Amino acid sequence: MPTYEYECKTCGKTFEAFQSMSDAPLSSCPECGKPIRRLIGGGTGVIFKGSGFYVNDSKKSGSSSSDSAKKEAV
């Protein structure tokens, strides 16, 4: 279930709520009962696991295409 972040328009309290995507947004602050608004979050970022995702992971020593081209030219 996604986590949604809300902010009260009156008292400024922010809180999170676990809701199904089909649930209606919450409408009142749990502290003061006044109207709230749902904040738009960035969510979580993409997590890359394993090797080959960074510049220093992608190159193996001696396996560069330019190195092999130089060897063939000689």
**Domain coordinates of the chain in residue numbers?**
3-58
Cα dihedral sign, 12-16-17-19 = positive
pLDDT at position 46: 72
The low-confidence residues of the chain, meaning pLDDT below 50, are none
* 67-to-52, 54, 58, 62, 72 alpha-carbon distances in Å: 20, 21, 15, 7, 9
Q: How many residues in total does the chain contain?
A: 74
Does the pTM exceed 0.75?
no
pLDDT score recorded for residue 2? 81
**What's residue 21's pLDDT?**
86
Residue 36, judged by CB atoms within 10 A of its CB (0-12, 13-18, 19+), counts as buried
The reported pLDDT for the residue numbered 32 is 93
Residue corresponding to tokens 């020593």 = 61
